[in-house]
Structure 1
Amino acid sequence: MQEYVQNFDFSEYLPAALAWATNILLAALILILGLWISGKAYKAVYGIGKKYERLDDTLFRFFGSVARYIILAFVLIAVLNRFGVETTSIVALIGAAGLAVGLALQGAMSNLAAGVMLLIFRPYKVDDFIDAAGQFGKVTEVDLFTTILQTFDNQKIIVPNSQIWGQQITNHSFHEIRGVDMTFGVAYKENTDDARKVIDEVLAAHPHILKTPAPFVEVSALNNSSVDFIVRPFCKGEHYFDILYSVPEQMKKALDKANIEIPFPHRKVIVVKED
């Protein structure tokens, strides 16, 4: 055995061993460098979203992850290439797999695309009250696939982003000051100046109605049985529904106190008696 070892020529295998050692070291170096670069790329992309207040963090966190995984994919291909693995077929396989996954997840991809657009253009944000996709509520969360709403009766509604993007979106919280449109009718026999005075007094006494801009009160229509006033007081957005649901009752009580009739449809029945 000792004679066999002495006669064994290690020099024959030395170049191959050195080549393998070199490839392992280079692969490790590529892997470490790739991990470092991918981490830096993620932080750089995510930092853009943190730098500008109007840009959404969720979107740039997603873009940062995409950049990191793309870099890691190239790193993996480079490492395999160091060991003589044919990477062309691997790239083709990854591309085919990506296409198959994309076709299988068309619905999810449409939600993702819509989510990206919503996060870029930001037609609404968390805590806004919106009316979209036939739903109304307070936005509690916006991610790449869904928008989550909370209704007034405390229900949680999860709406796919593809149902929101491309349709009309009403953001009730976009402007700090809002007008509240209401209509009140009085009888034709009543004096419109007296009715306007009562309406103005009710609006002036409400604690959440702003003095500037001044409430808009004008006759809007002469209906069959009533003279209609359009009444538009202004308030901060958070008081919109308080005014919408409290002023009508206050207006009814004030008009009754002033003996101003609020008309309602009448039907006159004529009975003809035959002799």
Structure 2
Amino acid sequence: MEELVEQLDINQYLPVIIEGATNVLLAAVILIVGLFIANRVNKIICNIGERYQRLDDTLFRFLGSLGKYVVLAFVAIAVLNRFGVQTASIVALLGAAGLAVGLALQGTLSNLAAGVMLLIFRPYKVGDFIGAASQFGKVQEIDLFTTILQTFDNQQIIIPNSQIWGSQITNHSHHAVRGVDMHFGVAYKENTDQVRKVIDEVLANHPHILKDPAPFVEVETLNNSSVDFLVRPFCEGEHYFTILYSVPEQIKKALDENGIEIPFPHRKVIIEKEQ
């Protein structure tokens, strides 16, 4: 009699045991397959960034991690669903939590969005000299939230990406050849052809100034007390600042040697004496 009762108890719980074991087995399979797919998605996305040089690795590593965790989130929901957990409430809770976090981190998310755009469109890269957000320097690092610049006086400036993406960006390193604009004034009595000849000689003797394209030297403005020349030599981008800070002194010395006056602003005052 007791054996019959035990047999009946086993038969009663056997479907439950089989169902539980099946759910555990299926959950394990879903988890293993999900982990494989998540890692595969991450690897595929990262490989895309490595395959093309114009694509930024940082962005694709982030996108790969994002894709991986999105897959894992669906895997977790599927596993819980196998055990009879109502996942609709969990999804709603996660959505509400995500909204709250998003509202709390609006500034951070705007930097993230700007960082993604900068890494996709790449208006500048590491090593470029740029002017952005009222700052100027050499780009040391670009990440998803900030851009780090190194200034000429060796300061580190960390700029939120949202400030850069929302303002004008000047990339001084984009083109291999650059023009260097300089202005020089001479007295009205001086012969402009002679002045141009002196300036041309200085530019022709400079080792970093290119012959092609040829330097531009022309009268730009007739000021109150001077005739102003616009001087624009061309050079490789790496020599831009060398020329900008060396040529003015050389032109000044050359003008002095040739007796050409560089005037300073002055005003003529006439005093009439009463009779």
Instruction: Tell whether the structures are fold-level matches, with TM greater than 0.5.
Output: yes
User: Partner residue of 1:90?
Assistant: 90
Encode CA deviations 1:74-113: one digit per residue, 9 max, x unaligned.
Answer: 0000111111111111111111111111011011111111
Instruction: Give the counterpart letter for 2:247 in structure 1.
Output: V
User: Counterpart of 2:260 in 1: which secondary structure?
Assistant: coil
CA distance in 1, matches of 2:168, 2:5: 86
User: Partner residue of 2:105?
Assistant: 105
* Alignment RMSD: 1.8
Instruction: Give the counterpart letter for 1:195 in structure 2.
Output: V
CA distance in 1, matches of 2:5, 2:154: 86
User: Counterpart of 1:138 in 2: which secondary structure?
Assistant: strand
Whether 2:63 is the aligned partner of 1:63: answer yes
Return the offset for 1:273.
Answer: 6.7
Instruction: Give the counterpart letter for 1:81 in structure 2.
Output: N
CA distance in 1, matches of 2:134, 2:248: 26
Runs of 4+ in structure 1 over 2 Å off = 3-15, 266-275
CA distance in 2, matches of 1:189, 1:267: 17
How do residues 1-275 of structure 1 correspond to structure 2 at under 5 angstroms? 8-9=6-7, 10-269=10-269
Encode CA deviations 1:236-273: one digit per residue, 9 max, x unaligned.
Answer: 11111111111111111111111111111224455667
Instruction: Give the counterpart letter for 2:36 in structure 1.
Output: W
CA distance in 2, matches of 1:271, 1:240: 49
The total of aligned residue pairs comes to 273
Query: Please, which runs of 5 or more residues in structure 1 have no aligned partner?
Result: none
Encode CA deviations 1:96-155: one digit per residue, 9 max, x unaligned.
Answer: 111111011011111111111111111111111111111111111111111111111111
CA distance in 2, matches of 1:24, 1:236: 67
CA distance in 2, matches of 1:167, 1:222: 35
Query: Please, which runs of 5 or more residues in structure 2 have no aligned partner?
Result: none
How has the CA–CA distance of structure 1 residues 251 and 95 changed in structure 2, closer, same or farther, with 3 Å as cutoff?
same
How has the CA–CA distance of structure 1 residues 46 and 271 changed in structure 2, closer, same or farther, with 3 Å as cutoff?
same
CA distance in 2, matches of 1:197, 1:107: 57
Return the offset for 1:13.
Answer: 2.2
How has the CA–CA distance of structure 1 residues 202 and 25 changed in structure 2, closer, same or farther, with 3 Å as cutoff?
same
> TM-score, length-normalised on structure 1?
0.94
CA distance in 2, matches of 1:271, 1:190: 28
User: Counterpart of 1:54 in 2: which secondary structure?
Assistant: coil
